[in-house]
Amino acid sequence: MRNSFIVTYDICEAKRLRLVFRTLKNWGNHLQYSVFECQLTRTERLQLKADLKEIIHHDQDQVLFIDLGPSDGRGDRVIEAIGQAYTTVDAPCLIV
């Protein structure tokens, strides 16, 4: 069974930030700068966490997994925005 997760991160160094972004890009949909939506089985979630644990500095960085529950039967994803309208971000995250 797959669950939907919001995965968000705060990474203090540009190189690690790019690595976290690339890793999450392989697992889910990029919603905002540091926010992804991922549909993961338990095994996939454990693998993703293991991949991220190898990248981040545990005393400086943070990655949050917010479990939204089962993916099946959720219906269509609805994202409401206040302020600027939500648009799908297809471009890579650029760090200058």
The pLDDT of residue 69 is: 87
Determine the pLDDT at residue 96: 44
pTM above 0.85, yes or no: no
Domain 3-70, architecture per CATH: 2-Layer Sandwich (3.30)
The domain locations on the chain are: 3-70
Instruction: Give the burial string for 56-87 (b: 16+ CB within 10 Å, else e).
Output: beeeebebeeeeeeebeeeeeeeeeeeeeeee
Encode pLDDT of 16-72 as tens digits: 999 999 999 999 999 989 999 999 999 999 999 999 999 999 999 999 999 988 888
Span 2-27, mean pLDDT? Answer: 95
